[in-house]
Amino acid sequence: MQPLGVDEPTVVGPYRLLGRLGSGGMGRVYLGRSAGGRTVAVKIVHPHLALDEEFRARFRREVEAARRVGGAWTAPVLDAGPDAAVPWVATAYAAGPSLSSAVADSGALPAHSVRALGAGLAEALAAVHELGLVHRDVKPSNVLLTLDGPLLIDFGIARAMDGTASLTSTGVSVGSPGYMSPEQIIGKGVNGAADVFSLGAVLAYAATGEPPFSGDSSAALLYKVVHEEPELGSLDGELRELVAACLAKDPAARPTPGEVGRRLAPDGAARLVAGGWLPGALVEQVSRGAVRLLNLDVAEEAASGPVAFSRPATVGEFGPPPVMPASLPQAPAAVPEPRDAAPPQDAVPAADQRPGKLSVSVAAASTPGEGGRGRRLSCTVALAVAGAMAAVTVGSVFLFDLLPGRDQDTNAGADTASSPAPSKEATTPAGNSVPARYLGTWEGKATVLDGALSAGTFRLTVHKAEVGDEVGTLRQTDLIGGACNDVLTLKQVTAKELVVTSVGRETNHGGCNPKPHTVRIIPTGDDLLYRSESDAEGNPEARLSKVE
- The CATH number of residue 529's host domain is 2.40.128
Residue 503 shares a structural domain with residue 476: yes
Residue 58 shares a structural domain with residue 133: yes
Q: Report the helix count and the strand count for the chain, using DSSP H and E.
A: 13, 22
Indicate the length of the chain as a whole number: 548
- In whole angstroms, what is the distance from residue 446 CA to residue 362 CA? 27
How many folded domains does the chain comprise? 3
Residue 358 shares a structural domain with residue 430: no
| Full-model pTM | 0.53
**3-class DSSP state of 295:** coil
**3-class DSSP state of 44:** strand
Residue 222 shares a structural domain with residue 359: no
pLDDT of residue 70: 67
Where is the domain boundary, 243, 274, 305? 274
Q: What percent of the chain has pLDDT over 70?
A: 69
Provide the Cα torsion 5, 7, 12, 15; round to 10°. 30
Q: What CATH number is attached to the domain comprising 71?
A: 1.10.510.10
**pLDDT digits 0-9 by tens, 14-57:** 999 988 888 776 788 999 998 888 889 998 988 888 888 888 88
249 belongs to an annotated ligand binding site: no
Residue 357 shares a structural domain with residue 268: no
Residue 457 belongs to what domain range? Answer: 424-546
**pLDDT digits 0-9 by tens, 392-451:** 333 444 434 334 444 433 333 333 334 444 443 333 345 688 999 999 999 888 887 777
**pLDDT digits 0-9 by tens, 277-303:** 999 888 888 887 777 776 665 444 443
Residue 174 has pLDDT above 80, yes or no: no
Residue 29 shares a structural domain with residue 140: yes
- Please say if 137 is a catalytic residue: yes
| Host H or E run for residue 115 | helix 111-130
Residue 87 shares a structural domain with residue 185: yes
pLDDT of residue 305: 36
Of the listed 79, 137, 297, 401, which one is catalytic?
A: 137
**pLDDT digits 0-9 by tens, 119-163:** 999 999 998 888 888 888 899 988 999 988 999 987 654 454 444
Residues forming a β-bridge with 462 = 440, 472
**pLDDT digits 0-9 by tens, 301-351:** 443 333 333 333 333 333 343 344 444 344 343 333 443 444 444 444 444
Domain assignment present for 462: yes
- The confidence band for 275, taking pLDDT boundaries of 50, 70 and 90, is confident
Residue 23 shares a structural domain with residue 131: yes
Domain assignment present for 410: no
Residue 123 shares a structural domain with residue 167: yes
CA 499 to chain centre: 39
Q: What average pLDDT does the structure give for the chain?
A: 74
**pLDDT digits 0-9 by tens, 462-497:** 999 999 999 999 999 876 566 889 999 999 999 889
Domain assignment present for 414: no
Q: What percent of the chain has pLDDT over 90?
A: 34
Residue 250 shares a structural domain with residue 296: no
- In whole angstroms, what is the distance from residue 13 CA to residue 88 CA? 8
Residue 375 has pLDDT above 60, yes or no: no
Domain assignment present for 465: yes
